[in-house]
Amino acid sequence: MSSPTAVPTASAAPRPDLPLDPEAAISVRGLVRRYGSSTAVDGLDLDIHRGEIFALLGPNGAGKTTTVEICEGFRRRDAGEVRVLGQDPATGGRRWKAQLGIVLQSGAGDSQLTCRELVRSQASYYSDPRDPDEVLELVGLTEKAGVRGRALSGGQRRRLDVALGIVGRPTLLFLDEPTTGFDPEARRQFWSLIRSLRDLGTTMLLTTHYLDEAEALADRVGVIARGRLVEVAVPSALGGRGSAPAVVSWTEDGVRRTHDTHAPTALVAELAARFGGEVPDLAVARPTLEDVYLRMIGQPTPEERTA
């Protein structure tokens, strides 16, 4: 690896000063996109390494879809440099697209074709596709293989979108809110699908509003707010979460007690000694991803709101 940004670090802040990373699956510098007078993406820098799952988090309208669709070649940019698999997406041709899998936020459209026919026709656009029936199995649509696209439920349609996105055996898979409308079981099944794709070496850029999804799947998380990337980190370290004090709470004399500490183990040992065994209602908590996320995007956390 020739570039320092190619080494995943716990908290790799955006590096606008560095040149595009040719080793990265996606490399973005100073990306700007305006719609009329409003700026949707406002100087965004990003490197996504080959083989990693990168989750982009951010509130509605933060600029996630705009960024992702610029990388996919669907949208123009007003400024900045973008390389996706070494190619400027604005000029990417068929061979470049053959390496991508794209699941759009808006879905793949309506059809009178059955799920199996749709996945098969999609497979025929690639030279080395996955087996369509296996793909339907992977997304849990085997029973619906003979049902027409427009007769599917919302969550089933979304699974079909995912099937269409992966059947071409992509090197780089874009997933823009892929699990919207999934029931909990489908979401777990999707997670294991994503993990098995990662094991096969697929790079993935995922946007989601589900923090548990980002935490469960992503190697790194980027938080985007008002068109800027405010932080990039591994999920457990986001917002200084890893080094934040733990909150130890217990009940003593009928009163709930809490204590912030960097040495929770010592405190718990001390409490255990004092109570001579079980500490009533003992809990040790770190700030959740949701806590740090809401703080990062400038919203009050639930506790702050009730306080």
Partner 1 sequence: MTAVQQQPSLPPLGAVYRTRAGVELKEFFRQRESVVFSLALPVILLVVFGAVLDYDIGLGIPFTQYFLPGILAAGILGVSLQNMAISIATERSDGTLKHLAGTPMPRSAYFVGKVVQVLATTVAILVILLLVGRVFYGVGLPSGTDWLTFAWVALLGAAACTLLGIAVSSLARTGRSASAMITPIALVLQFISGVFFQFSQIPTWMQTVASVFPLKWMAQGFRSVYLPDALAADEPAGSWELGRVAIVLGLWCVAGLVLCVLTFRWQDRGTD
Ligand X SMILES: Nc1ncnc2c1ncn2[C@@H]1O[C@H](COP(=O)(O)OP(=O)(O)OP(=O)(O)O)[C@@H](O)[C@H]1O
Q: Which of 11, 15, 32, 113 binds partner 1 (CB under 8 A)?
A: 113
User: Can residue 35 be called a binding residue for ligand X (CB under 6 A)?
Assistant: yes
40 binds, among Mg ion, ligand X, partner 1, none (CB under 5 to 8 A by kind): ligand X
Closest approach, Cβ 62 to ligand X, in A, equals 4
Give the residue from 222, 164, 173 showing the smallest Cα distance to 194: 173
User: In angstroms, what CA-CA distances link 133 with 87, 180, 274?
Assistant: 32, 23, 62
Coil, helix or strand at residue 172: strand
Q: What is the dihedral of CA 269, 275, 280, 281, to 10 degrees?
A: -20
Q: Which of 45, 52, 72, 291 binds partner 1 (CB under 8 A)?
A: 72
User: Can residue 124 be called a binding residue for partner 1 (CB under 8 A)?
Assistant: yes
CA distance 128 to 175: 21
Size of the site for ligand X (CB under 6 A): 11
User: Can residue 132 be called a binding residue for partner 1 (CB under 8 A)?
Assistant: no
User: Which amino acid is present at 67?
Assistant: T
User: Can residue 105 be called a binding residue for Mg ion (CB under 5 A)?
Assistant: yes
CA distance 279 to 260: 17
Q: Which of 110, 137, 143, 260 binds partner 1 (CB under 8 A)?
A: 110
Give the residue from 241, 22, 15, 26 showing the smallest Cα distance to 233: 241
User: Can residue 65 be called a binding residue for Mg ion (CB under 5 A)?
Assistant: yes
User: Can residue 231 be called a binding residue for partner 1 (CB under 8 A)?
Assistant: no
Q: What φ, ψ does residue 214 adopt, rounded to 5°?
A: -60, -45
User: Can residue 180 be called a binding residue for Mg ion (CB under 5 A)?
Assistant: no
User: Can residue 61 be called a binding residue for partner 1 (CB under 8 A)?
Assistant: no
Other CB atoms within a 10 A radius of the CB of residue 7 amount to 9
Tell me if 158 sits within 8 A of 115, measured CB to CB.
Answer: no
User: Can residue 67 be called a binding residue for Mg ion (CB under 5 A)?
Assistant: no
Give the residue from 45, 50, 57 showing the smallest Cα distance to 14: 45
DSSP code string of 81-95: EEEETTB-GGG--HH
Nearer to Mg ion by Cβ, of 226 and 286: the residue is 226
- Stretch 101-130 residues interacting with ligand X (CB under 6 A): 105
Q: Site residues (CB under 6 A) for ligand X?
A: 35, 40, 58, 60-66, 105
- Point out which residues bind partner 1 (CB under 8 A): 2, 22-23, 50, 72-76, 85-86, 94-95, 97-100, 102, 104, 106-113, 117, 120-122, 124-128, 148, 164, 168
Interface residues with Mg ion (CB under 5 A) are 64-65, 105
